């Protein structure tokens, strides 16, 4: 399936700031927006504490994640995926990421010190998807 992923310019700027200030541990969070078939529009992100506090893996804080889903529901948007950093590796899914994609299918943004890349993953595997930067949510 060919996915189209649009991200607001201001949201991409937030991802770029994370890229330039990632720190020693993986950072993580969720992606807000709307999904319609194979098209996804990312309209915001939220950073969520990595309870693993690890340079090589992440686990979203459950309470903060619940609050993010509640925020999405109250705002009439969806949680369309997750993002996380690879402070000491490339912006490519690790084996743990691939396993996570099987459990939590959707858009996964991986940020290294040099780039921001997006993937769609599910129980069948994953594919890289292009992030198209837009100026408005439409």
Q: Tens digits of per-residue pLDDT, 80-112?
A: 999 999 999 999 999 999 999 999 999 999 999
CA distance 90 to 75: 34
CA distance 10 to 16: 10
26 classed as catalytic:
yes
- The pTM assigned to this predicted structure is 0.95
pLDDT above 90 for 135? no
For the residues 3-14, what does the mean pLDDT come to? Answer: 96
The residue from 10, 13, 24, 26 that is catalytic is 26
Q: Say how many Å lie between the first and final Cα of the chain, rounded.
A: 22
pLDDT above 90 for 136? no
> Phi then psi for 30, rounded to 5 degrees?
-115, 160
Q: Is 102 left (phi over 0), alpha (psi -120 to 50) or beta?
A: alpha
């Amino acid at each position: 399936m060919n996915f189209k992923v649009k991200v607001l310019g201001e949201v991409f700027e937030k991802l770029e700031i994370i890229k330039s200030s990632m720190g020693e541990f993986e950072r993580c969070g969720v992606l807000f927006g709307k999904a319609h078939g194979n098209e996804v529009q990312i309209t915001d992100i939220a950073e969520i504490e990595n309870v693993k506090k690890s340079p090589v893996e992440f686990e979203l804080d459950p309470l903060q994640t619940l609050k993010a889903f509640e925020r999405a529901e109250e705002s009439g948007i969806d949680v369309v995926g997750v993002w996380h950093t690879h402070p000491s590796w490339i912006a490519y899914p690790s084996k743990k990421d691939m396993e996570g994609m099987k459990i939590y299918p959707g858009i996964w943004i991986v940020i290294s010190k040099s780039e921001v890349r997006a993937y769609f993953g599910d129980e069948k595997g994953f594919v890289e998807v292009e992030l198209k930067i837009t100026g408005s949510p439409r």
